[in-house]
Structure 1
Amino acid sequence: MKSLTSLMRDTYARTRTLAMIAGMVLTGLVPFVDGVMPAGFSIVLLAVGAGVVMIALLVMMRPGIDNAEESTETNGDARTGAALLLYLSPVILLNVVYPMVSPAMAAVDVGGVPLTLVVLASSITVPWLAQAACLPAYRVIGDLMAERDLEAITRRFCQFWPMMFVQSLPLVVVFALPLWLVTGWTPTALAIFASLCGLHLLFVQSLVMSNVANRRGAWALAWSAYAGALFLAPTLWWLPPLIGSLTQLAAMGPGLRHLGVAHRIGAREFSADVLRGLLMGSVLWADKLVLFLATGGDFQVVVVFAAMLPAVVAYNFYFINLAPRVDREMAGLHRTISGGPMATLLTASKRLSLVVDRSVLTTGTIGVLLTLAVSLVVNGLLPTQVLLAVFAGASSWAFMMLTLLSYELDFIGEKVSPQFLGGAHLVLCVAAFYVLGVPGGDGNGAGAYAALVVADLLLVGVAWLLYKRHWVQPEYTLFWRHATTW
């Protein structure tokens, strides 16, 4: 109850919460617009959608994390805006290139399966696979990240990377097995799918260093090379991830001298990280793979991916524009716990809790505004798909909020709850598509996503209560977690 009261007492939190509620209600009303508006109203829907996007951009430019009434921070300046665009380069580039090369891919069969279908299966598998495959890398370099010594970090990463890649390869089997059981693909098609996943596993692990070093230019270069290879040779399925990986190898420079097989992560630690990554990553990415399996790949790909974009943009906005401030406040609290006076500790703790709360609520507000905008645009352009867009978009927003709250729990050291929430989401996701079934026709998948909206909003409520329990007084959570390790 205190968690809900805190939302209403703070003006900033109350405003953001009401904005999210209003945005979700308006999104839910979008499918009914056609019934009350005259013919030819689509241009108005597109204009309103563009206006909502502008409002979301204004929130991004002035998030008001420091002071909701008199915001002076520069979180939305040109530099951070450019960083966000660079970080979103895979989303932008691939959404432009894939529609252009799909006809060429569709003309090629691999083992009796269209290449487009194999590539699609790989594309919706890799983000989830990446979450699990990259998490062990942060265990390897975690103790070096505070010092920001990139030479030492690169050296350590290169020492462990070859064996870490080998240890990660069984993950490909974890995803290939259900695909084979459900689709019955031929060994050739399945082998190409597994090879694509393996090459992408190499690619996403190679991106870890650019991510750690905040080298957005190197990140964008990798995805530009990937998209360029895809555009120039769409049927050479192995080329894009290979070219992308080579750009990152070049960026590591002298650190590559330390590549070897002498260092490896312990099996228990590696398995724990992989399981944690699979469960937490399932929240944002499992529905696409389950939908693919439930429909055999015959679903409205453009609409589902468009509905997902708001959540992806908002989630990346958090990590580019808001997470650095949270990290600074957390570092300050750690320093104060180590030797600061009690009055300073209480002030630092309250400030950290406020910054994290406002960051989460601002991210949610941006996500729901963009979800409303996409729903309006889809209704204007593809009115027969508006139900799918609304429910897939609303559920993606819930997935994003659940993932973000799970990340905050994990960040403060609470490792079990996020995995429980991820596991619950995965079970509900499979049930939504296989127990309820996927309706046929133009609303393909809308019914399952409608069920997921309800289920995941309940999980978001549970996650919020857990989050507030640990973050309302973060100094106690951090102190007792540290004390129990003595």
Structure 2
Amino acid sequence: MTSLQSLLQDPHARRRTVVIVVALVLTALVPFADAALPAGWSYALLAAGAVLVMAALLMLTRPDAAGASSSRVQSDGGARPGAGLLLYLSPVILLNLVYPLVSPAMAAVDVGGVQLTLVVLASSITVPWLAQAACLPAYRAIGDLMAGRDMAAITRRFCTTWPAMFVQALPVIVVFAVPLWLATRWSLTALATYAALCALHLLFVQSLILANVGSRRGLWAAAWAAYAVALFAAPTLWWLPPVVGALTQVVPMGRGLAALSLARLGARDFSADIARGLLLGSVLWADKFVLFLVTDGDFQVVIVFLAMLPAVIAYNYYFVNLAPKVDEAVTDLHRTISEEPLTVLAARSRRLSRTVDRAIVSTGAVGMVLTLAISLLLDGLQPVNVLLAVSVGVASWAFMILTLLSYELDYIGEKVLPQVLGGIHLALCVAAFVLIAATQSSAGAALAYGALVVADLALVAVAWVLYKRHWSQPEYTLFWRHATSW
């Protein structure tokens, strides 16, 4: 009960919570709209969806969206929050524009008896999960330099470890390739192409780490723009987009490239980071991979990806616009622990807890409003698939919130709990898609995602209680970590 009091007592968090609940209920009612409304109301649903999209965009661009201080989040030397988010969302925007245009050309090419479209799709749903695991060791390697924001030193350290880190991460591809082969029985040529695509994309996403650490949104967007141009210009040269994208990041490393070496990362720490990344990343990305396995790639790809888009946008919104406020409040608390009396410490601790709460519920509100909007739009355009869209949308929202709560637990030092939550989610995800037959059909996939909605909302409730237990008085955890670091 105490876990909910902070939401009810804070006006900003309370309003955002009401938005989440109302949008969630309305989203659940969307599949019944066709039966309840007279014929010809599809235009009204489209209009309502468009209005909600505009409302969500206003929520995204408001500088006080987190309810924290009124100062604007800066990136790339003064970009407004909306502009920074737009640049960060460039892969979502560009790839959703380009892929429909190049899919026919890809579909006309066979790779070892498998359509290139299927091989690329398999890689596309693997890489986000793979990347979360394979990039964590890099953040451990440069972690002690990140607070100082000295990009020259960070670049040198990154270049020192990057070649070996890339090579050490390659075996992780086998974790995905083996179940893919067991499920699809693809030829060796097709499977090798899939593995090569994953490896090249792994190189690409690791090259983006410096742009991400330095909040260089323009450089990030340039990489994805180059990727999209290469994909559009030569869609059947499957290896070209990640290579071109990586080159846009390698060139700006400049003198830091002189530090390139084969210095290996510690095997124990590296393995721990990989396992941690796989479990944390499974919450947001495992369902698409498992769905591909049980259907051999024969599922409603467009509906699934459009329905998960609100969760992806909200997730990026958190890390671009709201996470800097949380980092600022944490830094302020560390400074208070060192320099201020206990009376000030208590106030700063409450401020930090309130800031994190507001960030999470604001992200949840944006994600759920966008989910309602997409559900209405798809009901107006493809009413036959609206049940699948709603199930995937709400499930993806729950995945996103569970991921954020797990991230906050990991942030404050609770490394095991998020991995346990991720492992439970992964087991439930596999069970839902394996045990529920006929997932190739829209109704079967909707039922599997509906089961995941129920399961993951329960996990979200558990994660919220755990999160509040550790973040309601963050000075204790952060104090001891701060004290022992001296």
TM-score bracket for the superposition, by shorter chain length: over 0.9
- Is the CA contact (8 Å cut-off) linking 1:84 and 1:316 kept in structure 2? yes
- Is the CA contact (8 Å cut-off) linking 1:60 and 1:366 kept in structure 2? yes
Q: Deviations over 1:78-105 (max 9, x none)?
A: 7111111110000000001001000000
Name the CA shift for 1:258/1:343 in 2 (closer, same or farther; >3 Å).
same
- Give the secondary structure class of the aligned counterpart of 1:445: helix
Counting matched residue pairs gives 483
Correspondence for 2:206: 205
Aligned ranges 1:28-47 → 2 under 5 Å: 28-47=28-47
Shift of 1:11: 2.0
Aligned ranges 1:79-478 → 2 under 5 Å: 79-261=80-262, 263-478=263-478
Q: Deviations over 1:97-141 (max 9, x none)?
A: 001000000000010000000000000000000000000000000
Aligned ranges 1:59-78 → 2 under 5 Å: 59-62=59-62, 64=64, 67=67, 72-74=70-72
Correspondence for 2:50: 50
Shift of 1:64: 3.8
- Is the CA contact (8 Å cut-off) linking 1:118 and 1:189 kept in structure 2? yes
Unpaired runs of at least 5, structure 2: none
Shift of 1:362: 0.3
Unpaired runs of at least 5, structure 1: none
Q: Deviations over 1:261-302 (max 9, x none)?
A: 1x2210000000000000000000000000000100000000
What is the percent sequence identity of the aligned residues? 67
Name the CA shift for 1:51/1:64 in 2 (closer, same or farther; >3 Å).
same
Shift of 1:197: 0.3
Name the CA shift for 1:216/1:78 in 2 (closer, same or farther; >3 Å).
closer
**CA distance in 2 between partners of 1:344 and 1:352 (Å):** 12
Shift of 1:359: 0.6
Shift of 1:343: 1.3
Shift of 1:75: 5.4
Name the CA shift for 1:465/1:63 in 2 (closer, same or farther; >3 Å).
farther
**CA distance in 2 between partners of 1:74 and 1:485 (Å):** 31
Q: Deviations over 1:43-87 (max 9, x none)?
A: 11111001111221222233645758xx84545997111111110
The one-letter code matched in structure 2 to 1:87 is Y
**CA distance in 1 between partners of 2:408 and 2:240 (Å):** 37
**CA distance in 2 between partners of 1:324 and 1:363 (Å):** 14
- Is the CA contact (8 Å cut-off) linking 2:63 and 2:81 kept in structure 1? no
- Is the CA contact (8 Å cut-off) linking 1:438 and 1:448 kept in structure 2? no
Shift of 1:19: 1.1
The one-letter code matched in structure 1 to 2:460 is V
Correspondence for 1:11: 11
Shift of 1:35: 0.5
- Is the CA contact (8 Å cut-off) linking 2:59 and 2:65 kept in structure 1? no
Name the CA shift for 1:87/1:67 in 2 (closer, same or farther; >3 Å).
closer
The one-letter code matched in structure 1 to 2:189 is T
Q: Alpha carbon RMSD of aligned pairs, Å?
A: 1.6
Shift of 1:443: 2.7
**CA distance in 2 between partners of 1:149 and 1:364 (Å):** 33
